[in-house]
Amino acid sequence: MDKSTLKYIGKRLLISIVTLFIIVLVLFLMIRFMPGTPFNDEKLTETQKAMIYHKYGFDKPMWQQFFIYLQNMVKGDFGVSFGIARNMNVVDLVKPAIPISFGLGIGAVIIGAVVGIALGILAALKRNTFWDSFATVLSVIGVSIPSFVFLFFLLIIFGVEIPIFPIVFNSSDPIKTGFLPMVALSMGVIANVARFTRTEMIEVLGSDYMLLAQAKGLDKRTLIFRHALRNSLIPVITVLGPLIVGLMTGSMVVESVCAVPGLGSLLVKAIEVRDYNVIMAVSFLYSVMYIVIMLVIDVLYGIIDPRIRLGKGDN
């Protein structure tokens, strides 16, 4: 790995750390200024509430609360739950939900990427045909309709009318019980990837070097899969990052509908009972995932296309 690459990665990493700090600060302030508190129990007297506030440091100035929280967070201490599981360590509460949400998200990305790329290639090769129109219509529908609406249709058709899949998630059989939520979440990915792949594929197929390769007598299969596909998929990498993060927010409703004990449903429950520490921990985890994904994609894209690395390195 050359010096310019290491310099580029270092700058991206530094920007990511600063961004994460700003996100944590904004999240902390937003959560603290939410109406109500986790201790709105009418049975508590003002004296008891004051004792609880003092115990958890809520009586300290806001800036002091933030830096205490930041110091503990760096050590991996996100405090205890105030509402969902009173006095339970937040890390222990969040940890079991991570692999479930990850599995759901990864499954949706795989389905969305495979189907989206295949549909985009087909639409590009069969321009102005049924497949091209089908891909365009599906892209519009996939982008316009939320994933939980797709989920309701899938549950009615394949969970009730044709009971092939269960309508409630079961961790003992996550693939079968989580298949419909994965398909629902993948619809947005399919739509965006198909549209982007089609556009890039058409542009690559019409480029000068493709026309030159065709003039040299290369067969159509080699042209498409060795040259056109490889070059058209490089920009698609940059699209997958935001789409993966989009699945996180979309999974909140989907997980709640199918009773999936993942991060999304946990965050919804935490917001309902104003469980500050759980909200903060899950939101922080989402932010870290977003930054890591975008950092990896940014670095990979810079390595694949040195022009981007050199251009950003000079700025």
CA distance 148 to 132: 26
Hey, where are the domains in the chain?
95-274
Question: What's the pLDDT score for residue 314?
Answer: 47
SS3 (DSSP) at 118 = helix
Question: What's the pLDDT score for residue 1?
Answer: 58
Question: What's the pLDDT score for residue 223?
Answer: 73
Question: What's the pLDDT score for residue 248?
Answer: 65
Domain 95-274, CATH = 1.10.3720.10
CA 191 centroid distance within chain: 16
DSSP conformation letters of 65-81: HHHHHHHHHHTT---B-
Q: Residue written as tokens 């429950």?
A: 269
Residue ranges of the chain with per-residue pLDDT less than 50: 310, 313-315
Could you tell me the maximum CA-CA distance found in the chain, to the nearest angstrom? 86
CA distance 302 to 43: 59
Say what the pTM is.
0.77
Question: What's the pLDDT score for residue 249?
Answer: 62
List C-alpha distances in Å: 312 to 12, 241, 309.
10, 19, 5
Question: What's the pLDDT score for residue 126?
Answer: 86
